[in-house]
Structures are given as C-alpha cells and as structure tokens.
Structure 1
C-alpha cells in the first residue's frame, strides 16, 4: 500500500490539480505567440498579470530590461525564487520549450504561495528572466543584485532526457578584428597588408588548437567582414568566435589562448588586431545536489524518475550558470519527447504543446512547489544547501 503523502504535500497536489487547466492555457498561449530575446512584451504582460491577480507585488523593468520582472509574496528571509523563461527562437518558436519553463515557474510560485499559509514566514519570489537564448537575462539580473537575498533558485527545463541536473558548460563570444593596408592586388600588391589573410590564418591556428582542447572545450567562428571588393586587398577583416568550456575558469583560459593566437597571427602577417568580448558570459552550471535530489524525490511521485546525466555529454550553455554561482540552484531536465530527437528543432517545438508536455507541466509544478515549501520551512535543508553551494563554488 503506498505511503500517504504528508498533509502539506497533499495540499500542493490538490492546488496543482485545481490550477492545471489554467496553467496549461498559459503554456499554450505562450507557445502560439512566440517572442524572441528582449522582445517578450506580451509574454511578460501575461505572466505578470497572472501574478498580480494572485496578490504578488510585481516590479517591472528589472535590471534595466523592459521584459524582466520580479513578483514577490511575503517577506524574507528565507526567500525561494522560481525562475521563468519565456523567449523563443527566431524562426522556430518555442523549440526549446520555454513556454513550459514559464508556466512551470508561474504555477510553482502560485501553488507554493497558496499552500504555505499565513503562519509561514519567508518570501516566494517569481523572477521573469528574458533572453536565455543568447541575451543572458539571468546573468544581467544576477549582476544587478536580483538574487542577492535568495536562499534557493529553482527551475526546470524540458528536454529529451530525464536528468536530475544539467551538464551545462560556460560560454561567451568574442569579436576579433585585424587591420592591414588596402592596395590593388595587381597594381601595387607589395604595398598591401591583407587583413583577411590574417583572419583566415587565425581560423587555421584555432583549428590546430581545437585538436588538443580538453573535453567540453570548443571554439567555433564565422567571418563577419572580409573586405569590400575582390580587386582591393582587404584592410579590415573581422570574425566572431564562440568559446565553450566545461568550467568558467577553463573558459577564461580559452579566451586568453584566443588572444595569444590573434597576437601571434598579427605579428606574422604585419597586421594590427583587436579582441573584445561580444556577448554576455554564461558561467558553467553548478548543481546543488541537496536541492536537486529533493526535487527528484518529489517528481518521482508522478512516476518520473530522474537519473544522472550520461558521462561526458554536455548540452550547451545557459545563463542559469550565473545564478548558480551566487545561490543554490537546480536545473533538472524532464523529457517531453524521446531521446532520438533534440531541442532547437521543429519537432521539439511541436512536443512543447503536446499531451506529454501537459503531463510533465503538472508533475513539475507540483515537484517545484513542494521543493520551494521545503526551502521555506526547513532551516536544516537551507543550511545543507548553502554548505553544498559553497563547496561547488570553490571548485
């Protein structure tokens, strides 16, 4: 005979079931009206409207970002944050399932707040985080102090695996420019200094470097400017390079190597060069095992079992890494389609509005809300999570 759920968790289950249809409508509305990074105005309005109607105190334009927001109920400490992503991919819509991330964070905040009761102290904080797909909303919010008083940051992400934690790498992009001397390739070729040739040589050097980079490290580049005409030796050439590494420290080392390579090429070709960061830096994700295991335990009640990630597999990068460097955080993956597919595809966009996604949404809302209540009500859990976070941050 199954062990009965403790009363608070039964309340969460009942409250989740009561709100399930409304939350699915939110997920579908976002799915049908995708908006890209920093332009998620209708999504932000929909989500903040739901939170305001529930009595949350909403603050918009957080961190100077028009589509970022916080919504607060109660007063910390302690404070538990539920994170909402809602940006879509250009041309692919919600092919990363952020409509589900937003609905899950919204639902967990509403359910946890409804269940915790007037006698409970603490604060439930919903954080609207725009532009995960390249803009780094969470990174900018973290730098602005949004998470400074937060005891735990909770979110989930739909995927093709049921994994208790996300193997997410650090990443950033750099602009590299070479400057030479324009000339006519036949009229006065000896006077020319070919900036494009220097950029091409940098690609060759980085290709050789890539063969000896450690697991999780990666450099990929494109030419963004290569000249203006075929009968002019290019005096300016630029490229954009994406760097990834298993840890933030390794990313810093890789960026330094990029600079050394560019300097060497410039010396060899007689050009001058510039290297500058061209994106927000995403730190690697530091999983808080104490909270991840608590979430996984709650999710198992819905028949979804989370396992450890496949060793050696990295699934890209996310700005949740920047949050996890500051506070205990979780970012589990829960499958909404089979592992023979991938996100960032039309097939995944379809899956983000499927019946399986609907089931996952309700299960995740319940598990996130239970975990949030645990954080608010259990000082021992908060202490263990904080200790785990300090250990992970020191690595």
Structure 2
C-alpha cells in the first residue's frame, strides 16, 4: 500500500513538473528592455518528467471503465489515419501524431490518482509559474506586447493559467495552513492580470466563466467571505480602472473588432471552419479518418481545389481534429467532455463544471489538438475520484 502511495506521488509530481515546464519551454529566448537576450535554457526538458510519468503509470492502482476503452480506440484511430496519410517531415518528436499519443499515454492516468494531490502540488509550485512571468515572459517587462508567454501565444497562456487558478482555488478551500492558503491567494491574484494583459478573447471569456463559478461555489461555502470579496472588488474597481485603463480599452477594442488584426484573426478562424466543411463535402471519403494528423498546413495547396481556402492552420481544436483525424476521432474526443460533464453534474461540482466550460470555450478558438494542459484538464475533470475535489457547504 505504501509503495503504491509513493508511486502516486511520483506520478503526480512528474505531471506537475511537465505542466510547469511548458510555461517556459517555448520561451527560451526573451528580450530584455535593453535589447539583450535572456536564455532560459529549458528546451526539451519537458519530455523528462513525461517519461517518468509514463513509467510510473504502469505501477498505479487502476480500474478500467468505458472511457479507458474509448481512449484506446482514439489512439488506434490516430495511428490508422497517420498510416493512411503519413506525417510530413523526418523529426518524429515534431509529428502531431507523436505528441497526440504522448498526451494520452503520459496523462491519461490522472483519472486514477487522488485529484487533490494534483491540486495541492500545482498550488505549491504556482508562485514559481506565475510570478516569473512578470519578469521574463509578459508585457510588463520583457517580451512583446501580447505574445511573450506560453507557447509564444497569450491564448495558450490564458487557458493554462485558468487551470492553475482553478487548482489553487480548490487547494485554498480544501487544504489547511495559513502560509499555504496565502500562496494560493497570491497565485490566483497574480494570474488574473497576466490573462487580462494578454488580451486573449477566449482566455478572458474563459476566466469570466471560471470566476462566476468560483463565486457561486464561494457563496455556497461561506457567505461572509463571499460578500467580503464582492465589497473589496467593488471598492477597488475604480483604482483598477484608472491604473489599467489602457489595457481595458485594448480589451474592449479586441472584442469589438476595432483593430484590423483582430478582425483578420476572427475572419481567419471562420475561414478555417468553412474550409473544413468545403473539403469534407467535396471529398466525403475523408470523413471517417481525415487527412492525417498534422497535415493541414503541408496539404493546403493540394486541398485548395476542394475548397480549403484558409492559408493557416485551423484555430479550432474540434474542427482541426475532425479535419485531420476524421469523424470517428472527434466523436471519441467529445465523449471525454460528455463523460466529464455527466460525472461533475451528478456530483453538482459547479466549480469544475465552470473549468470544463472555460476550457472548452478556449479550445474552440485554438489549435489545441496536442495542447498538453488541455489534456491534463480533461483527464482531471474525468477523474474517477473527483468527489475529493467537491467543495461541500458548511
């Protein structure tokens, strides 16, 4: 029993380490205000904790259910479509198929661990994730105005930070210790400005959904604290609006599409969806297994004759997976959402339902087929022991 417990801790620590490294792995080079380049030197270290998690997963205590079978089918479909339509390039690690399989094989056993362990360990390291972004990878100091962070894209950064916020909030409510609770509060408060400054529309909408369910849960848990939070938030609104007026105006412009780049970005997303529909209508034989994982950009010229007129990758996880892996794969992928939603709805865990909706909303605007935090979130929300995360009324 003790050895199984130790393996569970090793697995969770590996997952959390991989998650944390992703915040910096693609931000190796950062420009300082004086023009010099800061080398973080992280690179592909991400694969080390992934390998540890994969090995540790074999020793975890687990039970099989319908979703486990669906995941096996999903990996099988991904392999079949890549055999029919082989990936381009010779670097196996860069293949979408490889990263897709990595995501499932390394993180699927999050469903079998105590989810509170994942929340607690994430909360412990969250200050090391969030506050370096105020120096190295965000617009306050280093980097570009919007794209200085996660994967070089504020949209991905926002989705990952929303997951950190939810896990810190759960730890705040479920774990003891004044210092630990203070770290959780600081991490939550530190993550919100990073999302706002990034001006990711999907990320901000996801944050609002998450905050709504956090407040809803807080009201059920402790009405006094709930009203204190509302009063403090209302009183600080004026100074916040004054200090960050430029950022708020920029967010307003982005949502209204007043900037040409924003209008083009929204149009590009629509073009991607329309292009997928055109190709599937004109080439119905592609519907079952798609064009092959990761083959969207390399085959643009080939499929433009069938209606693919978008010049970029599809910025929509669901349509992207449908286009590249086919109808069977997207149905299996959506089954994970349905399974998670039914489980959370049955337990009336509104906070995690909010996280699920927040993540689904963000991934609707992002090419997140191999986005590791997205998979971590999905497997966490479909955990077999999610009652451990329920915040019960006092």
The two structures share one fold, judged by TM-score above 0.5: no
Q: Which has the greater radius of gyration?
A: 1
Structure with greater strand share of residues: 1
More helix by share: 2
Normalized against structure 1, the TM-score is what? 0.27
